């Protein structure tokens, strides 16, 4: 015959039972959670690799997520966001030189440089630097940021890209989704979403600190696109083209973010 338990003992038993149940629940939750995490990782790990092309290879689901975050940020930081500017006195006198891909001096002569603009119909406009200098000049003093972790307040001047498009009657190309820019030798190249290219602070720059841009900084014409990291600020522009697909991009091919916005 079962021993009669006191109410205190009964209470104790009930509590013990409760603790056992709690332990069971938390252990199960832990194993289910760990299982899910492992499963998720395995799923990602076994997912097909995207074909490395415009962007470097990663697992397809990860790339889909990255592309979604890009769209999200593009909507939030669209053209009404303007990068902070500074008084000219704040601009660095000694401007940092970063990298020089596509900047070889072997087959390049700034004196006979011409910009090539490939129109939608395949026709190529050839534009000299004097023609660009004759158009309205816009200046900007802002904090230039490189993904490698440095930044510097710099003073640039040139033709706003949006003014350039209007002046050369490039409305049809402005309706396209992307702009591609490349050095004359094609060794360095960037792809830009049209919104950022047409941003009011984006310049085809030909002056730095009130002087023509030095060769190392991209003479005679470079891109200054304050809404992007340094990697997109192509030095020594040779060709500009337009497309509805992402143009090739040097650093995106190495795994950097294609959008690279700030």
Task: Kindly list the residues in this chain that would bind ligand MTE in the complex (CB under 6 A).
Answer: 96-103, 146, 183, 188, 217, 230-231, 233-236
Q: In the complex with Mo ion, which residue's Cβ is closer, 184 or 230? A: 230
Q: In the complex with ligand MTE, which residue's Cβ is closer, 220 or 230? A: 230
Q: How far is the CB of 119 from ligand MTE (least distance, A)?
A: 23
Q: How far is the CB of 218 from ligand MTE (least distance, A)?
A: 6
Q: In the complex with Mo ion, which residue's Cβ is closer, 60 or 152? A: 152
Q: In the complex with ligand MTE, which residue's Cβ is closer, 244 or 254? A: 254
Residue 17 phi/psi, 5-degree rounding, is -60, -40
Q: Which residue is nearest to ligand MTE (CB)?
A: 230
Q: How far is the CB of 213 from Mo ion (least distance, A)?
A: 17
Site residues, Mo ion (CB under 5 A) = 98, 146, 230-231
Q: How far is the CB of 160 from ligand MTE (least distance, A)?
A: 19
Structure tokens at 47: 């997912």
Residue 69 binding result from ligand MTE, Mo ion, none, given CB thresholds of 5 to 8 Å by partner type: none
Q: How far is the CB of 103 from ligand MTE (least distance, A)?
A: 5
d(Cα 155, Cα 80) in Å, to the nearest integer? 22
Residue 23 binding result from Mo ion, ligand MTE, none, given CB thresholds of 5 to 8 Å by partner type: none
Q: How far is the CB of 150 from ligand MTE (least distance, A)?
A: 8
Residue 254 binding result from Mo ion, ligand MTE, none, given CB thresholds of 5 to 8 Å by partner type: none
* Burial category of 43 from C-beta neighbours within 10 Å (exposed 0-12, middle 13-18, buried 19 and up): exposed
Residue 97 binding result from Mo ion, ligand MTE, none, given CB thresholds of 5 to 8 Å by partner type: ligand MTE
Structure tokens at 65: 């997520």
Residue 217 binding result from ligand MTE, Mo ion, none, given CB thresholds of 5 to 8 Å by partner type: ligand MTE
């Amino acid at each position: 015959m079962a021993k009669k338990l006191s109410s205190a003992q009964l209470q104790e038993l009930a509590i013990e039972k409760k603790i056992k149940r709690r332990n069971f629940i938390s252990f199960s939750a832990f194993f289910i959670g760990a299982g899910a995490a492992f499963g998720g990782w395995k799923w990602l790990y076994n997912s097909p690799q995207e074909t490395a092309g415009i962007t470097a290879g990663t697992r397809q689901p990860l790339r889909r997520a990255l592309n979604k975050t890009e769209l999200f940020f593009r909507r939030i930081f669209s053209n009404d966001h303007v990068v902070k500017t500074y008084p000219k006195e704040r601009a660095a006198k000694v401007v940092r030189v970063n990298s020089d891909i596509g900047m070889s001096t072997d087959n390049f002569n700034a004196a006979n440089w011409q910009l090539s603009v490939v129109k939608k119909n395949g026709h190529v406009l050839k534009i000299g630097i004097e023609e660009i200098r004759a158009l309205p000049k816009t200046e900007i003093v802002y904090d230039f940021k490189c993904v490698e972790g440095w930044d510097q307040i710099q003073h640039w001047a040139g033709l706003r890209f949006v003014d350039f498009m209007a002046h050369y009657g490039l409305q049809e190309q402005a309706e396209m989704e992307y702009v591609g820019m490349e050095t004359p030798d094609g060794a360095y190249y960037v792809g830009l979403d049209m919104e950022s290219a047409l941003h009011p602070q984006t310049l085809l720059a030909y002056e730095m600190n009130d002087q023509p841009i030095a060769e190392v900084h991209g003479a005679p014409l470079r891109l200054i696109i304050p809404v992007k990291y340094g990697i997109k600020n192509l030095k020594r522009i040779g060709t500009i083209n337009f497309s509805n697909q992402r143009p090739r991009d040097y650093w995106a091919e190495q795994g950097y973010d294609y959008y690279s916005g700030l």
